[in-house]
């Protein structure tokens, strides 16, 4: 049997040496070391040998298997090296490499990250919520009456189930208050959806950043100071900011915020950037009723909320005149921000 093993080893080494590619090398491996290979079948005969011959034959099998395996590994390395050399034949390796184009963040991502960074330094924590919402979280809890235009199917994307694509990230404020207790200081960046006709200033899907601060003694001055600081950190310390009275169902009093835009060669003009206000007590009452406790009893807490479009901030920041440029993925346009 020892002579048989030595013969198998010699045949295997010859087959490995004769292999010209990885497939023929693998065929040789299977023929000798596979489940039905010559050496495997020879090792199966060990059980029929006398006990005094088993150690001798076992050692011979191990020597043969090791030699064949080593030869296969060396041949495989040689074949791979040869293939590598062929792959670069005719190529001048001394030529300089081609410059790799470097990517960059999308302008919306740049603006969002900057806004979030400023607000987090002011103590706001990030919060998130589902984009497919209930009418309660998107409208009812936010004191939005049944006849409000936003609840119409012409303005909002509804599902057959009665749920809808959220029209603002204000729903995250409600979900946060349902789970946490005051003080609450959160921001909620994310997508919002409305049935707007797409033009130079409107998209049906846009990016919003909303904020909420609730505590025992939050005043209108806190709201004004927070947003003035934020907008000047975004657009420059000399940025002029004004608050105009407005109406939102979920805040009272409510305001729209403008900043004065300075464009070279043009007269400065005011442009709306955000909406805000003190949280309407009806919102706190709705949350308290849902929680079944007095954690947000309007007699004990006050707060302010604000919301702004990240797309609009980006347009102001970079002087973009058509919002559609932000979703067309034109590399020529996006390269300006890389």
**Mean pLDDT confidence for 210-224:** 95
Residue 89 has pLDDT above 90, yes or no: no
For residues 79-103, give the mean pLDDT: 82
Give percent of the chain above pLDDT 90.
51
Across the chain, what does the average pLDDT equal? 89
Please check the confidence at residue 96 and state whether its pLDDT lies above 90. no
Residue ranges of E strands in the chain: 125-126, 132-133, 164-165, 184-193, 205-215, 241-248, 251-261, 269-279, 302-309
Please, which pLDDT band fits residue 170 given cuts at 50, 70 and 90?
A: very high
More confident residue, 14 or 101: 14
**Is the confidence at residue 173, as pLDDT, over 90?**
yes
In the chain, the percentage of residues whose pLDDT exceeds 70 is: 97
Read off the pLDDT band of 218 (50, 70, 90). very high
pLDDT of residue 279: 96
pLDDT at 112: 95
- At 26-70, the pLDDT tens digits run 888 888 788 887 777 777 776 766 777 777 777 877 888 888 889
Peptide bond into 246 cis (omega under 30): no
The pLDDT score that the predictor gives to residue 167 is 93
pLDDT of residue 2 exceeding 90, the answer is no
Q: What does the pLDDT read at residue 246?
A: 94
pLDDT reading at 99 higher than 80:
yes
Confidence label for 11 from pLDDT (cuts 50, 70 and 90): confident
Structural tokens at position 114:
């900057």
How many whole angstroms separate alpha carbon 334 and alpha carbon 186? 31
The Cα–Cα gap between 327 and 24 comes to 53
Compute the half-sphere exposure of residue 235: CA atoms within 13 Å on the CB side of its CA.
25
Quick one: average pLDDT of 83-102? 81
pLDDT at 317 over 90: no
Question: pTM of the entire structure?
Answer: 0.69
The beta strands (E) that lie in 100-141 are given as 125-126, 132-133
Dihedral of CA 59/65/71/74: which sign?
negative
Amino acid 46: pLDDT: 67
Could you tell me which residues come within 8 angstroms of residue 267 by beta carbon, excluding any fewer than 6 positions away? none
pLDDT confidence band for 253 (50 / 70 / 90): very high
**Range from 132-141, 148-157, 172-181 carrying the lowest mean pLDDT:** 148-157
Instruction: Find the range with the poorest average confidence among 106-120, 194-208, 240-254, 259-273.
Output: 259-273
pLDDT(210) > 70: yes
- Binding site: residue ranges? 252
Binding-site residue positions for Mg(2+)? 252
The whole-number pLDDT of residue 1 equals: 62
**255-308 per-position pLDDT tens digit:** 999 998 877 777 888 999 999 999 999 999 999 999 989 899 999 999 999 999
């Amino acid at each position: 049997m020892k002579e048989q093993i030595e013969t198998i080893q010699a045949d295997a080494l010859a087959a490995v040496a004769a292999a010209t590619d990885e497939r023929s090398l693998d065929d040789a491996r299977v023929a000798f070391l596979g489940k039905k290979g010559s050496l495997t079948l020879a090792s199966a005969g060990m059980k029929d040998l006398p006990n005094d011959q088993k150690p001798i034959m076992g050692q011979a099998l191990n020597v043969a298997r090791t030699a064949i395996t080593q030869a296969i590994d060396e041949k495989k390395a040689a074949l791979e090296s040869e293939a590598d050399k062929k792959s670069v034949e005719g190529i001048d390796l001394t030529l300089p490499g081609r410059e790799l184009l470097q990517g960059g963040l999308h302008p919306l991502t740049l603006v969002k990250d900057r806004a979030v960074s400023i607000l987090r330094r002011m103590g706001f924590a990030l919060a998130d919520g589902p984009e497919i919402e209930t009418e309660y979280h998107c409208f009812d809890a936010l004191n939005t009456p049944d006849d409000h235009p936003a609840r119409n199917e012409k303005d909002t994307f509804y599902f057959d189930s009665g749920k809808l694509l959220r029209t603002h990230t204000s729903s995250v404020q409600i979900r946060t208050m349902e789970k946490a207790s005051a003080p609450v200081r959160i921001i909620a960046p994310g997508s919002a959806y409305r049935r707007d006709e797409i033009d130079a200033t409107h998209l049906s899907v846009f990016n919003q950043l909303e904020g909420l601060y609730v505590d025992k003694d939050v005043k209108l001055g806190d709201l004004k100071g927070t947003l003035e600081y934020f907008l000047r950190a975004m657009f420059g310390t000399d940025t002029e900011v004004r608050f105009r009275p407005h109406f939102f169902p979920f805040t009272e009093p409510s305001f729209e915020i403008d900043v004065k835009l300075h464009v070279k060669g043009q007269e400065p003009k005011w442009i709306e950037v955000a909406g805000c206000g003190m949280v309407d007590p009806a919102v706190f009452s709705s949350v308290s009723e849902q929680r079944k406790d007095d954690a947000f009893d309007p007699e004990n807490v006050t707060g302010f909320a604000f919301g702004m479009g990240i797309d609009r901030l980006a347009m102001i920041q970079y002087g973009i005149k058509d919002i559609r440029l932000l979703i067309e993925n034109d590399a020529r346009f996006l390269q300006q921000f890389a």
